[in-house]
Amino acid sequence: MTEGLTDDQKTFADSLDRLLTDALPFARRQAAVATPGGFDEEIWQQLADLGCMAAAFPEEHGGLGGGPEELMIIGEKFGRHLVTGPFLASVVLGGHAVLFADSDAWKARVLPGVAGGTKKLALAWVERQARHDLHDVATSVRAANGGWVLSGRKDVVPGGAQADVIVVSARASGDRRDRDGIVLVAVPADAPGVVRLDERAHDGNRVSTILLDGVEVDETQILTTPDQGLAVLERVIDHAIAFVCADAAGSMWQVFETTLEYLKTRRQFDRTLGSFQALQHRLVDLYIDCELSWSMVLDATQALNTPQRRQAVSSAKVAVGESARRVAEEGVQLHGGIGMTMDVPVGHHLKRAVVMNASFGDADHHLGLLASSPVSRESSHV
């Protein structure tokens, strides 16, 4: 899975894999998930020291000058090792929302801290009535008393519990489902009027409901113009989808390799389970799923800065999501009864696949986007 990577990227991938193998055995991972924050602060700082938080940011903002390929490497390793914590929330979502927006002041203010692991961001965009439509925004930011007032509710905010600053999508003008009139607003998490209701997600990470009750903001906190907000949000979410697809692919490979080893050693009827041809065929199917999914991840990652971004990302979300759940379910079944317990990693990989499929638009949503895209309409006549 290192084909196409530079020597530096391969070295980074190997270093990250060694770090997580040594520092995050399964028992420590489970202990971290059980803490109030859901992750291990010591390992978070080790990841920052290795350069994970800085990898995808430009050097002028405290980063290492990488990009989507570095995020792909990190996602794949995080999926293999079931890493929890606010990396997706802070670096991929909140960090890239600031990076892609127009505010140089906020880039200088927060991105070096994000890159160093000392500051955490979150992106709040999900609203209950919107389903997966990014342009359906009821949260409002209106001029009042010489400034602006932000009001509304955001649901299922990744990393909201740990965030120092929350980037909120809000409507400055127009009707609720208009594509224009959306801005991104940077709000300190401890600002008056911000209420966070935190809970544990199915995969062990933490998400929050964010209530915004007349939060006062000034002009400098509005990161985009009303005609740019949706485009920035879509670009950020596409980067996040590519990241979780890489995470899912890493999880799939780990399930496949663990299950293969288990079938080689587990004996039944005086034979190893792996000697049964029917089970060998099932393992071959899982291997094909893993290979095809990794190809989709590579395609989506390489397309992030091209006009084909949306089609490639939606295609990967559908294909990788379905394969990830299928591989994890097969892994649980082939492990037998122990696969249903929380004492082995395979069941936790299944939980991760379930959350991945529900995040950033389900399969039906992305199939709809593909069906309505210009590329799809043209290819349907070929």
**Tell me, what CATH number does 155's domain have?**
2.40.110.10
Are 210 and 348 part of one and the same domain? no
Residue with tokens 């914590």: 85
Report the domain count for the chain.
3
- pLDDT for res 40: 95
Are 208 and 256 part of one and the same domain? no
Are 39 and 113 part of one and the same domain? yes
- pLDDT for res 102: 85
Mean pLDDT of 55-68: 96
Are 215 and 235 part of one and the same domain? no
Residue 375 pLDDT level (bands cut at 50, 70, 90): low
At 238, list the tokens. 């596409």
294: closest CA among 15, 135, 80, 66?
80
Of 54, 89, 119, which residue is a domain's last?
A: 119
Report if residue 176 sits inside a domain: yes
The whole domain housing 25 covers 7-119
**Per-residue pLDDT at 4 exceeds 90:** no
Residue 122 pLDDT level (bands cut at 50, 70, 90): very high
Are 352 and 264 part of one and the same domain? yes
Report if residue 2 sits inside a domain: no
Give CA separation, 12 vs 57, 66, 245, 341, in Å. 15, 11, 19, 34
> Can you give the length of the chain in residues?
382
- pLDDT for res 175: 96
Are 273 and 199 part of one and the same domain? no
Mean pLDDT of 203-209: 96
- pLDDT for res 382: 30
- pLDDT for res 202: 94
- pLDDT for res 268: 78
- Reduced to 3 states, what is the DSSP secondary structure of residue 156? strand
**Per-residue pLDDT at 197 exceeds 80:** yes
Are 162 and 244 part of one and the same domain? no
Residue with tokens 């008056």: 192
Residue 132: CB atoms within 10 A of its CB come to 17
Are 76 and 145 part of one and the same domain? no
Are 23 and 59 part of one and the same domain? yes
Report if residue 219 sits inside a domain: yes
Greater confidence, 296 or 265?
296
Per the DSSP assignment, residues forming a β-bridge with 144 are 147
**Per-residue pLDDT at 376 exceeds 80:** no
Report if residue 76 sits inside a domain: yes
CATH of the domain at 264: 1.20.140.10
- pLDDT for res 270: 78
- Average model confidence (pLDDT) for the chain? 94
Residue 187 pLDDT level (bands cut at 50, 70, 90): very high
Mean pLDDT of 194-222: 96
- pLDDT for res 379: 40
Q: How far apart are CA 14 and CA 6, in angstroms?
A: 12
- pLDDT for res 380: 36
- 222 Cβ partners below 8 Å, 6+ apart? 141, 148, 172, 183, 184, 185
Report if residue 291 sits inside a domain: yes
Are 282 and 167 part of one and the same domain? no
Of 162, 191, 225, which residue is a domain's last?
A: 225
Mean pLDDT of 169-197: 97
Of 199, 225, 251, which residue is a domain's last?
A: 225
Report if residue 1 sits inside a domain: no
Report if residue 218 sits inside a domain: yes
Are 16 and 115 part of one and the same domain? yes
**Per-residue pLDDT at 217 exceeds 90:** yes
**Per-residue pLDDT at 377 exceeds 70:** no
**Per-residue pLDDT at 232 exceeds 90:** yes
Report if residue 265 sits inside a domain: yes
Greater confidence, 88 or 131?
88
- Reduced to 3 states, what is the DSSP secondary structure of residue 117? coil
Mean pLDDT of 45-49: 97
Residue 381 pLDDT level (bands cut at 50, 70, 90): very low
Are 253 and 288 part of one and the same domain? yes
DSSP 222: B
Mean pLDDT of 302-327: 97
Q: What is the pLDDT of residues 315-354, one digit of tens each?
A: 999 999 999 999 999 999 998 888 888 889 999 999 999 9
Mean pLDDT of 226-241: 97
